[in-house]
Amino acid sequence: MKRIYLDYNASTPIAPEVAAAMKPFLTAHYGNPSSRHWAAITAKEALERARGQVAELIGCHDDEVIFTSGGTEANNHAIKGVFQAHGGRNAHIITTQIEHPAVLQPCRFLERLGVSVTCLPVDSHGMVDPDDVRKAITSRTILVSVMHANNEVGTIQPIAEIGRITRSHEILFHTDAAQSVGKVPVRVAKLGVDLLSVAGHKLYGPKGVGALYIRRGVTVEPLHHGAGHEAGRRAGTENVMLDVGLGAACRAAQRWIGMAALRTLRDYFWQRLKTEFDDKVVLNGHSTMRLPNTLNISLPGHNGPALLAALKGVAASTGSACHAGSMEISPVLKAMGVRPEVALGAIRFSLGRATTRKEIDYVLGQLGAAVAADAVKPAG
């Protein structure tokens, strides 16, 4: 069976240069970077080099980057850490209805501690209105958290505009940039954020590693307490091999920022879909302010999971990976006001560095044959 991978927003393969950078730390370089002897030197140098590579990609100082176990920990650290350092039971946090569960669930947890959480709506394109952020701010607001790009539909949020609002109100601003780092330019100063989350396996690095940017001068309570690793901000001996992998992935990603070739391929895919299905196919998400590799479409009247099952050997998604297998309407599409008969027919194709036009043509053929043969039953 031919295998085609179009689920790069869920996870990416480890890039060859990343694997090569990690390999020596499986065997030869086993020292603890916090130790004071010869075995620690190589590990410590590699760790700090990796930190610098992450910092270079997002445009910050090396000492503003701490390594985490992934995007989920980075989000939890940012949200809970700000609450513990600056908030109390009367605190208020602003986020959106389309955030990843790694943001929404920490907010729900803090609600149980008495925190008030405002989840802002989005428009039909999946975009939040900065003016809604402004109107939601109160004297109790301690944090605004808005994702940079949505993992399901790819819509890129007006983060810089929101950043200007939070800065004028002297409120901390966090963005989950797991999906955008390595795909579009992400510079913390231009975005105006105080905290930013990175996930390694979204940019051709290993799973189980991420990073949190914390702007100089911002106090965030550690999520893990213990010894003074990561300048006292995250206890626990660093996983040097994974951190090195993340650094190498960030360095390699600089060659791919903007993904012009992928954008062209994605647009070719969309134009062919419109031709094949006589303009009955629906685009979910913003038409232009969208990740260059992401195409979320619906075939109204069809069942997305059944339709995807008919695409033999094609790895894609009916929503985010965290909702795989669920027959419920995606919370993101629901927040966008997508009609149920349209939302149930949604499929997310996310392209990657290895995707070819030949593969896209194959998927188009499979999809056309499936629909023509009535291979899927109408939704509902």
**Ramachandran region of residue 299, left (φ > 0), alpha (ψ -120 to 50) or beta?**
beta
Q: Which residues contact 153 (CB under 8 A, 6 or more apart)?
A: 126, 284, 285, 286, 290, 294, 296, 332, 333, 336, 348
Q: What is the token pair recorded at 278?
A: 């006589």
Task: Give catalytic residue positions.
Answer: 322
Question: Which phi and psi (to 5°) does residue 318 adopt?
Answer: -95, 5
3-state SS string for 95-155: EECCCCHHHHHHHHHHHCCCCEEEEECCCCCCCCCHHHHHHHCCCCEEEEECCCECCCCCE
Residue 159 contacts residue 180 (beta carbons within 8 Å) = no
206 close to 245: Cβ distance less than 8 angstroms: yes
The three-state secondary structure class of 159 is: helix
End-to-end CA distance of the chain: 31
Cβ neighbours around 227 below 10 Å, total: 11
- Are 265 and 357 in contact by the 8 Å Cβ rule? The answer is yes
Strand (E) or helix (H) holding 212: strand 210-214
